[in-house]
Amino acid sequence: MTAFSIVLLAMIAAFLGMRLYSVLGKRTGHEQEPVLPRRDERAAPAPAPVRLDDGDAPASLPAGLPGSSGLVYEPAAEAGLRQLLAADRHFDAGRFVEGAETAYRMILEAFWSGDRDTLRDLCDDDSYEAFVAAIEARDARGETLDNRLIGIDSAKITAVELSRREARITVRYQADISAVTRDAEGKMIAGSMSDAAQADDLWTFRRQIGSSDPNWLLDEVEAA
């Protein structure tokens, strides 16, 4: 089984190797659904409501986010970030990471609650379909998730790739998640609300450089 399991934490149990939405992280014993598959060639992204960068931001490589003591990217990502800045002078790494944290929370909560509309807006086609398949399988078993993202300890850019005017940015999230699965009667059958699990996930977002749509879509997820 792939890595999407931890991010979908209590949502992934053994899907297709946890495609993007099955690929949300490594297994921790609280998983309940799949991990999304690895990326192959795809078309340009559809619009998403969450902006992961600022179209008016200067083309600079920030040292860190306001109020933070560390960088928003790992050293291995610096060369890729500079290439991206050369191709898109409006890109701002700090604002991107801030938006990526928001997207992380929104996508997890949408998956846990079965909110297909939000997932459709924030994910590419393959990721969306993987999440929906996991939600439908969960519904067929009569199960519900009572999960909670307690907090994101860290979010940093680990890799940046440019290919054919498409940019792909991978973000490593370290977060605490409480996960509980309940059956049709509401009885707890897995997990614990008093014991949070540490998630360590890699999410990759993609966007067409030069597109009028400033938003990024979730493309792939795996365990760090």
Q: Span 190-214, mean pLDDT?
A: 91
pLDDT the model gives residue 70: 65
pLDDT the model gives residue 195: 83
Residue pair 72/60 in contact (Cβ under 8 Å)? The answer is no
pLDDT bucket at 25, cuts 50 / 70 / 90: very low
Q: Span 15-21, mean pLDDT?
A: 32
pLDDT bucket at 172, cuts 50 / 70 / 90: very high
pLDDT the model gives residue 164: 86
Query: What is the identity of the amino acid at 204?
Result: T
Rg (CA), the chain: 17
* Most confident segment among 18-27, 29-38, 39-48, 80-89: 80-89
Decide if pLDDT at 21 tops 80: no
pLDDT the model gives residue 171: 98
Structure tokens of 31?
Answer: 């998983």
> Checking phi first, is residue 115 left (phi over 0); if not, alpha (psi -120 to 50) or beta?
beta
Helix H or strand E encompassing 191: strand 188-208
pLDDT the model gives residue 27: 31
pLDDT bucket at 52, cuts 50 / 70 / 90: low
Is the sign of the CA dihedral 12, 140, 191, 124 positive or negative?
positive
pLDDT bucket at 144, cuts 50 / 70 / 90: very high
Decide if pLDDT at 87 tops 60: yes
Query: CA 28, 30, 35 angle in degrees (round to 5)?
Result: 70
Three-class SS state of 223: strand
